[in-house]
Structure 1
Amino acid sequence: MANRLAAATSPYLLQHSGNPVDWHEWGEAAFAEARRREVPILLSVGYAACHWCHVMAHESFEDEQVAAVINASFIPVKVDREERPDVDAVYMRATTAMTGQGGWPMTCLLTPDGHAFYCGTYFPRDRFVDLLRAVTEIWQDKRDEVVEGAAGITARLQEATRPPAGALADGPLGTTGLRDAITGLLAQADHHHGGFGGAPKFPPSMVLEHLLRHHARTGDDRALDLVEATCTAMASGGIYDQLAGGFARYSVDAAWVVPHFEKMLADNAQLLRVYLHWYRATGSPLAERVVRETAEFLLRDLRTPEAGFAASLDADTEGTEGLTYVWTPEQFTEVLGAADGTRAATLLGVTEQGTFEGGASTLRMLEDPPPEWPGWRLSLFEKRSLRPQPPRDDKVVTSWNGMAIAALAEAGALLGEPSWLEAARRCAQLVLTHATPDGAGHLRLRRASRDGRVGEADGVADDYGNVAEGLLALYQATGEPHWLGLAEDVLATALEQFRSPDGAFYDTAEDGERLVLRMRGRTDNAEPSGTSSLAGALLTFSALTGRWRAEAEAAIGAGGEIAAQDPRFAGWFLAAAEAAASGPVQVAVVGDDAVAREMIAVARAATSPGLVLAFDGGTEPVRPGSGKVVAASAPDTDHNVAPPGLLDSRERIDGHSAAYVCRGFVCDLPVTTVDDLHASLASTIDS
């Protein structure tokens, strides 16, 4: 019997469309069928690049006997956590509450009303069948008790996730909280290998951004030292793809040697920006190389025909993890010859014993690369390209594409790569042409698309925060005012639909689908939470326009408790707080000659976390929801009208290009030379 996943937009769901399990997509139809049949829901949540999701699929969901047990007594529902992070968050909360831990695949048993009564993660086949049979018996004999208990669990979780009564949060994390966070991070750091904690070890992208901003604001060399140690170790380790660029999801060991090989857009977009800011702060050649190679990876391996960026590359190739990526000395010799093969193997840590399975090795950069390295790299990459390649999850996740827009826009502007800027523009246009105006004229984002077809799921809070961040980065990189107007629209929707009474943001819209819990994202894990992503975007917007500063500060303040408990899980809150403490420092450049362009470059090179930049770069309107980009000569829509900002009433001085440097919209006298701008910024930043 064919299941119901063949028309899904999610590649993960499509992977299961041939299962004998009678899968449903998440939705009211599945729950209505559960109520009609009076059976529980079997909820299985995973994602396309998840290794253990594949294992459970092969062991259980592709097995006819297991499928028969499921189909007889349950309504099975398959969810892509990347497409429905709201559903994932609700039942991950239940899973961690019941078991003390979480992960994927996530396996939950629900009543027909959506209340969880049993949760877990990966189950081996026989244990899974035993569980299903036991639950079937209990459901038949003690259904009322199960239903009552599940409703009680939900009620307790609702109480735990309810916003506190009373006033908004006290305001942004202050300088004392930021200093305490640095003390906590230094105490938790791995000062031998870089990063934090032991194995498995994840790239601490948002924490690194916070540390860079803290150093820029205070001059604290301890923060910069930790960034340099961690970024150097990661870029030299097996977690970084030495041949193709880009980072794997995490390292299975504490020394960054062996990665879990999946490569995620969200990780790489964030790390591209971190390495860019490390380069800006220090001029590190390694940082610049990683930026360039990672940008190449995004454009070559993750870009879709529609100009978005795919979600991930799988950890497995033909069912074997790492098959595409690992090497032996003999393979090096085959590609490079005996002499160069031996030298390259020594450079990259490829040994007879191996660092991975079966005597193969991951690639690490153990020394400074010799002059021959670019040629070796190209030859090895071309040979590797002939191997079987990992599958690509080519859905375009709105939130993660917002991160890519921000990273490519900033990097393209700072490093003078117009093709990266154009890629950021086209990606933003794709995301926005899938948005639709609501009744108030504000933009409503969708969560994901694939092959140009928009998925059913509405955007969640981090979609709005990260897209707004990307649009604001595009505005500052290009000077094109419509990006600022579009960011305003996105943020207006977020404030109207997602804001919580305590200044944080719910994950889901006020008028959206009602789940059994309405979660508020306040922890930064692999990516910024909904609240912190919106806090950062609101803060930047307020610096550019003077609007929504109080809302930004309230959202930053909502992360104060997490930052005090464990700053590793409040990285983007802390990064936004550093910007709030440092700024706003506002630079508006008027003019279009060589002096103006050099002034813009000076402002871009400044490291102050609170600095924003405005200049007039022209316009190319985008009409949201039209399915196409509108030509520059077409009439502007309301979405393309920029709000009042830094360029208002700014003029050239006696016909010369000028820069206006302000702090909190209180401005110095305008300057007309690059040297004077340098001096003005030096006297303003960190004053």
Structure 2
Amino acid sequence: MSGFKNDLQFASSPYLLQHAENPVHWVEWSPEVLERAKQENKPILISVGYAACHWCHVMAHESFEDNEVAELMNRHFICIKIDREERPDIDHIYMDAAQMLTGRGGWPLNAFALADGRPFYAATYFPKENWKKVLSNIAKAYSRDYKSLLDTAEKVTDGIQMAQELSPAEQADIQFSKTEYKDLMVNWRKTVDGDRGGFRGAPKFPMANSWQFLLQYYDFTKDHLVLEMITKTLDEMALGGIYDQIGGGFSRYSVDAEWFAPHFEKMLYDNALLISLYANTLKLASKPIYKQVISDTINFVSKELMSEDYGFYASLDADSEGEEGKYYVWSYKELSEVLTEEELSLAESFYNVTQRGNWESPRNILFSQQTPDSYAKIKDLDPEKFKSDLNQLRYKLFQIRWERPHPPLDHKIITSWNAMMTIGLVDAYTALKEPEYLDLAEKNAQFLLASMVTESGTLLRTKSSDSKFIHGFLDDYAFLVEALIKLYQVTFNIHYLNTAKDLVNSCLEDFLDFSTGLFYYSSTKGEQLISKTFEINDNVIPASNSSLAKSLFLMGHFFNDSTYTKASEKMWNQVKSKLHKSGPYYANWQILSGWFSHPFYEVAIMGKEAKIKALELQHSFCQNAIFLGGHEENLALLKGKTPQDLSETILYVCENKTCQQPTTHVDVARKQLEIKG
């Protein structure tokens, strides 16, 4: 079928475009396609993946590019291709079906459904011959035993819908003591890998948000074992193969329990969340390697994932030239041809390069077992000279690697992932006081507000042109709100806070389930799928509901408006029974629990140096507070707080709208906030 193109040629998603020349008659999801399936009396086949997914590529090459397989698919099914990053709402539903039917999930996800979208079978990757058998068996069952498939579809759909059913929420006062908060750690201790950091077992995912809760826990309890859990994890990741030792940035996970061999795709959201984590940890544990990781990861994102107008692209593929990881690994022979003897010796001793290859022979993944400082100390080398030599080696290898064919780039710009990057940049700014990080955060936020917010105030998830776009889901709203709140607290630009308020009000209007107090993942005014879903569990990415619950709490404080605070409390009451047993999967909710159970401060800073003094305070770890101020009394909590002497800057540390003695000294405010060190 040379030159054949299916309907995906009109798609905007790079993942869908990868399948535009398949002999399979792929179409994009739409109500019209489901109607066509009904008219033709065919089941639908929903194949879900994403551009950086290695096994998605494998199945595409083995099956979807094969004419014989395509003929089977085209004859018996309406074949729909989904980019899970564009349509996570659809992915959620059919992933739930796969979990119910097979007990496992993952991508590529292949689901079979009746023409109305109700699934009767779903699973992940199939080798070609197995896939052909599945296609034939389902086609036969659909024509000969439709009632059996209908019964299964009804049961699976009922199961998906029942899993989303929650009890009506209580509007009760929050009852959560400091003792109950301390007890949250009991289940965590069972899951943390004390030897290598992270969570026990393999594969190993960073789960950045989980460690953010432990930072708060350490800050409140001063339990040094908890800080050791965090720093052990961050140290091991920074030295492991999951971190790109040459170019900066993190892969999605390691396939082993040692952070050694990554699944090589690099996702924007992982890097954004990990920049935040390293920045916030740096405030409590000042380690040079964390500064290096933050700086190099931001450089990687800026160089390889940033558009000309300061939007950030979704991901880099795991594969290049048809091989997973080929761009990133090195053979000893290649290194010996491009490095001097001294450089080769350094690569062997510091990055554990071997002649046979430390991964799949003859390939080497560069990783280290010591930080540059500890290595120099062990080898009795001058630390600054050693770091200079190491940086020269890294630069040389980076330049050589840059000439290789690059992994394909997924140039989708996703609102929620960009907002996470804005958050990461602001956290990096407060930790390192680098103005360029704040500048980049503001440019990204301005891009999002100009490109992704419509004239009517609704938010888009992705946009390829004025006529091709996808409406925002709850995570797009929640993370953009979080980003704008972060930006306001370092700039005191009220526009950011007012825009966040508008977006929160849109969520209350378009996504809220009044009965439960939680928010649907999709707008109640958008396309209605077979089930509405709630995103509640925190995972690799925090849940949209937990993010929004935290922001509602903060908005209640900023605007002195109990409507927002009560909405946050109602959400928290829905999950409180699960907090102690769910560990990392409720980490963001547990951060909110910390705010409810400990003093929470409003810090008003008014006057000439308001931003400078706000940065000084936020340079320390202080997350049980909001910061507001500037030159104008544009919030209720700022009324009457402008200094009479306009050359002065006054700081007010308040709790429940009752302020301590105002001060002009950051150190005094720090003591009032109980910031240690």
TM over 0.5: yes
**Which of 264-273 and 172-181 deviates more?**
172-181
- Summarize the Cα distance change of 1:94–1:238 in structure 2 as closer, same or farther, 3 Å threshold: same
Q: Determine the structure 2 residue equivalent to 1:606.
A: 620
Q: Aligned-pair distance for 1:562?
A: 4.2
Alignment of 1:473-492 (within 5 A): 473-492=486-505
Q: Determine the structure 1 residue equivalent to 2:423.
A: 406
- Summarize the Cα distance change of 1:174–1:351 in structure 2 as closer, same or farther, 3 Å threshold: farther
Pick from 397, 401, 410: which aligns with 1:380? Answer: 397
Contact 1:21–1:61 (8 Å) recurs in 2: yes
Distance 1:425 1:215 in 2: 30
Alignment of 1:456-475 (within 5 A): 456-475=469-488
What SS does structure 1 have at the residue aligned with 2:361?
helix
- Summarize the Cα distance change of 1:339–1:453 in structure 2 as closer, same or farther, 3 Å threshold: farther
The one-letter code sitting in structure 2 at the alignment partner of 1:28 is P
**Which of 57-66 and 181-190 deviates more?**
181-190
**Which of 387-396 and 425-434 deviates more?**
425-434
Pick from 581, 600, 606: which aligns with 1:590? Answer: 606
Distance 2:403 2:468 in 1: 33
Distance 1:674 1:526 in 2: 36
Q: Determine the structure 2 residue equivalent to 1:622.
A: none
Q: Determine the structure 2 residue equivalent to 1:638.
A: none
Provide the alpha-carbon RMSD of the alignment.
2.1
What SS does structure 2 have at the residue aligned with 1:588?
strand
CA deviations 1:552-601 (Å, max 9, x no partner) are 223234333443332121122222322343442121211124xx455223
Structure 1, gaps ≥5 residues long: 619-641
Q: Aligned-pair distance for 1:168?
A: 4.9
CA deviations 1:142-199 (Å, max 9, x no partner) are 2233224312321232123112135358748654443233121112111011110211
Q: Determine the structure 1 residue equivalent to 2:658.
A: 666
Structure 2, gaps ≥5 residues long: 373-385
Q: Aligned-pair distance for 1:78?
A: 0.4
Pick from 68, 91, 109: which aligns with 1:65? Answer: 68
Distance 2:400 2:327 in 1: 11
CA deviations 1:358-384 (Å, max 9, x no partner) are 221111122332221111111111111
Pick from 410, 419, 426: which aligns with 2:436? Answer: 419
Alignment of 1:9-88 (within 5 A): 9-88=12-91
Q: Determine the structure 1 residue equivalent to 2:343.
A: 340
Q: Aligned-pair distance for 1:614?
A: 1.7
Contact 1:327–1:361 (8 Å) recurs in 2: yes
- Summarize the Cα distance change of 1:242–1:217 in structure 2 as closer, same or farther, 3 Å threshold: same
CA deviations 1:118-140 (Å, max 9, x no partner) are 11111111111111111111111
Q: Aligned-pair distance for 1:353?
A: 3.0
Q: Determine the structure 2 residue equivalent to 1:259.
A: 262
The one-letter code sitting in structure 1 at the alignment partner of 2:571 is A
Distance 1:177 1:315 in 2: 43
TM-score (norm 2): 0.93
Distance 2:195 2:453 in 1: 50
Alignment of 1:221-240 (within 5 A): 221-240=224-243
Alignment of 1:345-356 (within 5 A): 345-356=348-359
Contact 2:332–2:357 (8 Å) recurs in 1: no
Alignment of 1:233-248 (within 5 A): 233-248=236-251
User: Is residue 143 from structure 1 mapped to residue 122 from structure 2 by the alignment?
Assistant: no
Q: Determine the structure 2 residue equivalent to 1:636.
A: none
User: Is residue 551 from structure 1 mapped to residue 567 from structure 2 by the alignment?
Assistant: yes
User: Is residue 293 from structure 1 mapped to residue 296 from structure 2 by the alignment?
Assistant: yes
What SS does structure 2 have at the residue aligned with 1:469?
helix
Contact 1:10–1:395 (8 Å) recurs in 2: yes
The one-letter code sitting in structure 1 at the alignment partner of 2:595 is A
User: Is residue 515 from structure 1 mapped to residue 507 from structure 2 by the alignment?
Assistant: no
Alignment of 1:208-219 (within 5 A): 208-219=211-222
- Summarize the Cα distance change of 1:143–1:298 in structure 2 as closer, same or farther, 3 Å threshold: same
Pick from 408, 413, 427: which aligns with 1:391? Answer: 408
- Summarize the Cα distance change of 1:367–1:272 in structure 2 as closer, same or farther, 3 Å threshold: same
User: Is residue 677 from structure 1 mapped to residue 642 from structure 2 by the alignment?
Assistant: no
- Summarize the Cα distance change of 1:16–1:149 in structure 2 as closer, same or farther, 3 Å threshold: same
**Which of 584-593 and 228-237 deviates more?**
584-593
Contact 1:272–1:407 (8 Å) recurs in 2: yes
CA deviations 1:84-104 (Å, max 9, x no partner) are 111000111111011111110
Q: Determine the structure 1 residue equivalent to 2:271.
A: 268
- Summarize the Cα distance change of 1:33–1:169 in structure 2 as closer, same or farther, 3 Å threshold: farther
What SS does structure 2 have at the residue aligned with 1:267?
helix
User: Is residue 506 from structure 1 mapped to residue 520 from structure 2 by the alignment?
Assistant: yes
**Which of 48-57 and 341-350 deviates more?**
341-350
Contact 2:463–2:470 (8 Å) recurs in 1: no
CA deviations 1:618-665 (Å, max 9, x no partner) are 9xxxxxxxxxxxxxxxxxxxxxxx973543332115442111111122
Identity %: 35
Distance 1:22 1:271 in 2: 40
Contact 1:43–1:79 (8 Å) recurs in 2: yes
Q: Aligned-pair distance for 1:295?
A: 1.1
- Summarize the Cα distance change of 1:562–1:25 in structure 2 as closer, same or farther, 3 Å threshold: farther
Distance 1:532 1:238 in 2: 31
Q: Aligned-pair distance for 1:335?
A: 3.2
Q: Determine the structure 2 residue equivalent to 1:647.
A: 638
Distance 1:172 1:273 in 2: 30
Contact 1:3–1:22 (8 Å) recurs in 2: yes
Contact 1:488–1:643 (8 Å) recurs in 2: no
The one-letter code sitting in structure 2 at the alignment partner of 1:497 is D
Q: Determine the structure 2 residue equivalent to 1:360.
A: 363
- Summarize the Cα distance change of 1:169–1:681 in structure 2 as closer, same or farther, 3 Å threshold: closer
Q: Aligned-pair distance for 1:492?
A: 0.9
Distance 1:40 1:91 in 2: 15
Q: Determine the structure 1 residue equivalent to 2:544.
A: 530
The one-letter code sitting in structure 2 at the alignment partner of 1:478 is T
Pick from 316, 325, 328: which aligns with 2:328? Answer: 325
- Summarize the Cα distance change of 1:143–1:368 in structure 2 as closer, same or farther, 3 Å threshold: closer
Distance 1:332 1:561 in 2: 56
Pick from 136, 139, 164: which aligns with 1:161? Answer: 164
Q: Aligned-pair distance for 1:44?
A: 0.2
Alignment of 1:99-110 (within 5 A): 99-110=102-113
Contact 1:335–1:379 (8 Å) recurs in 2: no
Distance 2:493 2:194 in 1: 43
The one-letter code sitting in structure 2 at the alignment partner of 1:377 is R
Q: Aligned-pair distance for 1:499?
A: 2.0
Q: Aligned-pair distance for 1:472?
A: 0.8
What SS does structure 1 have at the residue aligned with 2:469?
coil
What SS does structure 2 have at the residue aligned with 1:444?
coil
What SS does structure 2 have at the residue aligned with 1:358?
coil
Contact 1:534–1:555 (8 Å) recurs in 2: no
Distance 2:147 2:278 in 1: 56
What SS does structure 1 have at the residue aligned with 2:330?
coil
Contact 1:603–1:613 (8 Å) recurs in 2: no
- Summarize the Cα distance change of 1:171–1:503 in structure 2 as closer, same or farther, 3 Å threshold: farther
- Summarize the Cα distance change of 1:140–1:68 in structure 2 as closer, same or farther, 3 Å threshold: same
Q: Determine the structure 2 residue equivalent to 1:629.
A: none
Distance 1:169 1:569 in 2: 24
Q: Determine the structure 1 residue equivalent to 2:375.
A: none
Distance 1:172 1:69 in 2: 59
**Which of 326-335 and 336-345 deviates more?**
326-335
Distance 2:172 2:61 in 1: 48
Contact 1:168–1:502 (8 Å) recurs in 2: no
Distance 1:172 1:331 in 2: 63
Q: Aligned-pair distance for 1:274?
A: 0.4
TM-score (norm 1): 0.91
What SS does structure 2 have at the residue aligned with 1:549?
helix
Distance 2:271 2:328 in 1: 17
**Matched residues, number:** 655
